Amino acid sequence: MTDWMTVAEVGGSLAAIGGAAYARHAHPAAYWSAVGLPASVVRLLASYSSTMDACGLTVEPPRWRAVAVKATTRREIRPVPPRRGLIRLTATGLRMRLRLAPGQEPADIAASAERLRHAWGVHAVYVRDVKPGVVELRLVGFDVLRDVRMPRRARGGLLRVPVALREDATAFVRDYRALPHELVLGATLSGKSMYLRNLIAGLATQPVVLVGIDCKRGVELSPFADRFSALAVDQQQAADLLPVLVAEMEDRYDLIKARQGIAPSTPDELITSDIWGLPDEDRPPPIVLFIDEVAELFLVASRKDEDRRDEMVTQLIRLAQLGRAAGIHLEVCGQRFGAELGKGATMLRAQLTGRVCHRVNDEASAKMALGDIAPEAAWAACSIPSERPGLAVAGDTSGGWSRIRTPNLSLTHAAAATCRAAADFAPEVPALSPFRPHAPTGAPVATSGPMASPQPVTE
Ligand SMILES: Nc1ncnc2c1ncn2[C@@H]1O[C@H](COP(=O)(O)OP(=O)(O)O)[C@@H](O)[C@H]1O
Ligand SMILES: [Mg+2]
């Protein structure tokens, strides 16, 4: 009888452990909410002071406090940890603010992030500067980049698309007003087109003109043809389209200039140097030009093509240099983007402020994208595993960088559901109408493998 009891007990415990391990792997978010979160909160509350002490993050208390403690309680005076704010629970982890003690800087806390993560049993700990003297600790309970779900609260706006998830579970927002042009690099099958697809789906419902150049005969961008105002699928079409865009940009500059010259008495706030200062009814719609596989634009087979290529490169450089004020933005995608592409390549690259680097085959490619942002960012890009397509390193304006991953958005969902439904959102730009693509009829291109559309979760 006792033997049977023992077997039943052991079996029951093993089943519970197995079930927990399965739940942790298969449903990390649910496991975190039910098991991980309470356990981590208890650990954090119970061990906050001792952990901070062990990490060297405590300081001597102020003298008045030491005197007061000694006078009233006669207790030993112990170093104090940074003051902790309320713990806020989220669907992916928890957050709390710390007030830095005098003499501490955010880098001190960040240097101990790895130790804190082990002490409190969480997947990762990130430190964010909130304001002078205050940092926010973000504890992430599980690997949020394994199965990307965008936070529901990640709201975009005009020309702001929450396109991917950062490893600290915040949304990575592609903001065209802040970073007018961007370079997206990565080896083949690293997830570049998925990044573009997410961006296109995000912009589709906004009053933004989408223009594409896809020299892979349009295989990547044609499924979105319903929503595109212009699409070039080979070098010749691109060579025809680019001068039209440059002319459109010049027209917009004339418009801004006309506005500036209304009268010498025009109040200062009505003088503008970009389209955003124009009144709503006069403002031309912003244009985003997507270029997939940019190297195809640069490659030439014969001497005859060389002039055409040089012209295109010059036009692209002009668009990158002057486009922002005219509301024209570039999103350039390629496998490599170095001097070997030819004249003008590095000059164009220097104009593309935003940088996203997916998995690359060699360090030189990573340096092309991120070398001028931070050397560690380039190393991080080199260590992206091939079994995680879509994972990338994004550099930000401040010289900081973060790991991001796009949600797995199926082509059917992006093309059919979003772009077809949003076809009417495309603003009219008469100059581009000769380039309007014929939308492919029938079912959208089938996708390989099972794909789920991204589902927002509450944060
Ligand atoms: N974020 C992601 N999550 C899951 N799978 C992805 C993700 N991004 C890309 N993939 C998969 O990786 C493969 C290659 O992606 P793709 O965007 O076509 O790469 P590239 O354009 O760099 O060659 C596709 O089959 C796609 O389904
Ligand atoms: Mg591609």
For ligand 1, pick from 194, 195, 294, 413 the residue to mutate: most ligand atoms within 8 Å of CB.
194
Tell me, what's the pLDDT at 14? 67
Q: How far is the CA of 448 from the centre of ligand 2 (A)?
A: 14
Do the beta carbons of residue 457 and residue 154 sit within 8 Å? no
* Distances, alpha carbon 155 to alpha carbons 161, 174, 196, 371, 430, in Å: 8, 11, 18, 31, 31
Do the beta carbons of residue 157 and residue 145 sit within 8 Å? no
Length of the chain: 459
Tell me, what's the pLDDT at 130? 92
CB-defined site of ligand 1, < 6 Å: 186, 188-194, 389-390, 405-406, 408, 448
Q: How far is the CA of 122 from the centre of ligand 2 (A)?
A: 35
Spatial distance between the Cα atoms of 270 and 78, rounded to a whole number of angstroms? 61
Angle at 150 between CA 393 and CA 367, to 5 degrees: 5
Tell me, what's the pLDDT at 70? 73
Residue whose CA lies nearest to ligand 1 atom number 16: 191
Q: What are phi and psi of 203, to 5 degrees?
A: -85, -20
Spatial distance between the Cα atoms of 206 and 299, rounded to a whole number of angstroms? 34
Residue whose CA lies nearest to ligand 1 atom number 14: 189
Domains and CATH numbers, the chain: 2-140 (no CATH), 160-435 (3.40.50.300)
Q: Which residues contact 13 (CB under 8 A, 6 or more apart)?
A: none
- Smallest-distance ligand from the CA of 406: 1
Q: pTM of the predicted model, to two decimals? A: 0.85
Residue whose CA lies nearest to ligand 1 atom number 7: 390
Residue whose CA lies nearest to ligand 1 atom number 20: 189
pLDDT per position in the chain (459 positions), as tens? 556 666 666 666 666 676 777 777 778 888 888 888 899 999 999 999 999 999 999 988 777 777 777 777 767 777 889 999 999 999 899 999 999 988 899 999 999 999 999 999 999 999 999 999 999 999 999 999 999 999 888 778 899 999 999 999 999 999 999 999 999 999 999 999 999 999 999 999 999 999 999 988 888 899 999 999 999 999 999 999 999 999 999 999 888 888 776 655 655 555 678 888 888 888 999 999 999 999 988 888 788 788 888 999 999 999 999 999 999 999 999 998 888 888 888 899 999 999 999 999 988 889 888 988 888 899 999 999 999 999 999 986 567 899 999 999 998 887 777 888 888 888 989 999 889 987 654 444 444 444 444 445 444
Of 140, 129, 52, 42, which Cα lies nearest the Cα of 95? 140
Report the amino acid identity of residue 221. Answer: L
Do the beta carbons of residue 47 and residue 104 sit within 8 Å? no
* Ligand 1: nearest atom to the Cα of 358: 22
- Distance linking the first and last C-alpha atoms of the chain: 50
Radius of gyration of the chain measured on its C-alpha atoms? 27
DSSP string, 140-181: E-S-TTSS---BTT---BTTEEEEEEETTS-EEEEETTTS--
**CA torsion angle for 116, 120, 124, 130 (degrees, to 10)?**
-60
Residue whose CA lies nearest to ligand 1 atom number 4: 408
Q: How far is the CA of 195 from the centre of ligand 2 (A)?
A: 9
For ligand 1, pick from 189, 331, 393 the residue to mutate: most ligand atoms within 8 Å of CB.
189
Q: How far is the CA of 366 from the centre of ligand 2 (A)?
A: 17
Q: How far is the CA of 191 from the centre of ligand 2 (A)?
A: 7
DSSP string, 205-258: TSS-EEEEEETTTTTTTGGGTTT-SEEE-SHHHHHHHHHHHHHHHHHHHHHHHH
Parallel, antiparallel or unpaired: strands 182-185 and 354-357: parallel
